[in-house]
Chain A
Amino acid sequence: MPSLGADMESGTLLEWHVKPGDVVHRGDIVARVDTEKAEIEVEIFHDGVVEELLVTPGTKVPVGTPLARLRAAEGAVVAPAARPEAPAPPPRAVTAPPPAPPPPAAAAAPLALRRLRVSPVARRIAEERGIDLAGITGTGPDGAITRADVERAAAAPVTAAAPAAPAAPAALVAPVTAPAAPAPPAPTLAPAAARAAERARAMRRTIGAAMARSKREIPHYYLSMRLDLSHALRWLEAENARRPAPQRILPAALLLRATALALREVPELNGFFRDDAFQPSEAVHLGVAVALRPAGLVAPALHDADRLSLDALMAALRDLVQRARSGVLRSSELGEATITVTSLGDTGADLVYGVIHPPQVAMVGFGRVHEEPWAENGGVGARPVVTASLAADHRASDGHRGGLFLAALARLLLHPEAL
C-alpha cells in the first residue's frame, strides 16, 4: 500500500487492473486505492511480471503492506530506479514490493529491503506526524535518519507527498505479512458526508503543515510583472472561433505553456531543494493548483509540460482538473511536480504571493485577467492584463534570474502563435 499522503495510515484496495502473469511496465496503472482524501490510481514503478496479488479488493490495509508480488524484468536493476528525482518516493518502493522469493538474486534486491537506521527521536516524530521513513534520505552517521531529516520530510508537498507510517518496516517483513495481509475485513464505510468532512479536515491539516514548513525554512523572495495579454487573447479568440467546444483552449493553458517554456530559460526555478543543495530537474512537471469543491486544494503534476503542444497541454489540463475534482488522481501526479503554478481565474484577485511547496523552489502565480490602462510608445490604451508573480527560494536563485523568468513569460505571450 503506497503512502499517498502525510496523514495516510491505511488505504482500501478498490480494484486490481492487473492479474498474475501480466507484464507490467513502469508507469502502468495497476490498482485503484481509496484513501481518506481521495481515490488514487496506483502506478507501478518497475518493469516486471505480476506474480501474485496479495490483497483482495475491498480490503483495508496499513501503509507499507505489500499489495502484490512482482518478478523484476530480467536484468533490471531495480534499486536505483526505485528512488529517483521525485519528492514522493514511497509509492515506488512500496507499490512494487520486493520481487521476493522467485529471484532471490542480488541484483533484484530493491530498496524496500534496505534496513533503515533511524534515531529514536526521529522515529517518534515520524510516527506522530505519520511520515514514511522509507521515503527519507538519512544524512546522519552511516546514512541514519535524524530528527532534522524527518522534519524536512514533513514539509514535503502539499498535495500528498509526505509519506506515511512505518512503510519500511512493513515492507521489510514482506514475506511474513504477505499471507496475513488480506486478513482485515472490508471496512464499514462511513456516511459519505462524514467522509467528505474528514477528507476536508485532513486536507487542511496537510496543507497547513506543508505551508508552515515552507514559511519556516524557505527564504522566499517575491517578484511580479504585469503582462500584456492583448495579443494572446486576440489570437486565442480567433483560434477558438474555428474550433468546436471540446477543442477550445483556455487562457490558462496558454499561461502554463508559456511558463513551461520560460522555465527552460531559467532552470534555477525548476527542481528541488534537498540535502542542502538545489537539484535542478531536466523535466518540467508543472504542479497545477486546482481548487476543489466545496473547498480544498490539490496541485497534481502536469508531466513534461514543456514538451506538450498547446493542444496536448490543454487536453492534459482538462483531464487533470476533472480527475482532481472527482478525486481520482494517479500516484505519480501527487508529489512529482517540479514547480507549482497557481492561477486565480477570472473572478479572483489581481496578484498572488505564492507559498512555495517544499521541496520545490518556486511558485508562479497568475492573477485575474482584466482590462487596465497600458502605456506604450507614448500612448495609453486599455488592454487585457494579467499580473504574473514569482515566489522563489533564495537558496536556489536570486531576483535577477527570477526577473529574467518573468521577462521571458512576457515575451513568449507576445507571440502566442509560436506557443
Chain B
Amino acid sequence: MTTREQIREAALRVLGEIAPEADLGALDPAAPLRETLDLDSMDFLNFVVGLLEEIGIDVPESEYGQLSSLGACIEYLAARSASGPGA
C-alpha cells in the first residue's frame, strides 16, 4: 500500500527525469499532463515504465487515459495500490 503522498513524489520524480526543464513544483494537479509537459509517446511510455519501477504498478495501455493529469494519476494509482500488491 502506497500513500497518495508517496505516489505524488514518485510521479514527480519520474516526470522530473523526463522533462527536466519543467517547473514541477508549479504543476497544476488538474492540468492535462501530456500537453502541459509536452510529452510525446516515447516520454509517456517512459513515464509508465518509471511508475512501474518506482511503485511497482504496471499501468496497461488500455488505461493510459487514467493518467491524464497528475491528480488523476494519484487517484488511479492509489486505488490500484489499495486493491492489491503489484497488480
Which A residues contact B (CB, under 8 angstroms)? 237, 240-241, 244-246, 248, 250-252, 291, 293-294, 317-318, 321-322, 345-347
Q: Which of B21, B42, B59 contacts A245 (CB 8 A)?
A: B59
Closest approach, in angstroms, between the C-beta of A379 and any C-beta of chain B? 28
**8 Å CB interface, B42-69 against A:** 42, 45-46, 48-49, 51-52, 58-62
Q: Judge whether B42 and A293 touch: CB under 8 Å.
A: no
Contacts of B19 in A (CB 8 A): 293
Contacts of A248 in B (CB 8 A): 45, 61
Most buried by B among A245, A246, A251, A252: A245
Which B residues contact A (CB, under 8 angstroms)? 19-21, 34-35, 38, 40-42, 45-46, 48-49, 51-52, 58-62
Q: Judge whether A294 and B61 touch: CB under 8 Å.
A: no
Most buried by A among B34, B35, B42: B42
Q: How far is the CA of A245 from the CA of B46 in the complex (A)?
A: 9
Q: Judge whether B40 and A291 touch: CB under 8 Å.
A: yes
Q: Judge whether B35 and A245 touch: CB under 8 Å.
A: no
Q: Judge whether B52 and A251 touch: CB under 8 Å.
A: no
Q: Judge whether B59 and A251 touch: CB under 8 Å.
A: no
Q: How far is the CA of A248 from the CA of B21 in the complex (A)?
A: 26
Q: Judge whether A250 and B58 touch: CB under 8 Å.
A: no
Q: How far is the CA of A318 from the CA of B43 in the complex (A)?
A: 10
Q: Judge whether B21 and A293 touch: CB under 8 Å.
A: yes
9 more CB-based (< 8 A) A-B contacts, given A241-B61, A241-B62, A318-B46: A245-B45, A245-B58, A246-B49, A248-B45, A248-B61, A250-B41, A250-B42, A347-B34, A347-B40
Chain A minimum-CB-distance residue to B61: A240
Chain A minimum-CB-distance residue to B51: A245
Contacts of B40 in A (CB 8 A): 291, 345-347
Chain A minimum-CB-distance residue to B38: A293
Closest approach, in angstroms, between the C-beta of B46 and any C-beta of chain A? 8
Contacts of A294 in B (CB 8 A): 21
Closest approach, in angstroms, between the C-beta of A256 and any C-beta of chain B? 12
If A240-B61, A241-B60 touch, whether A246 touches B41 (CB-CB below 8 Å) is no
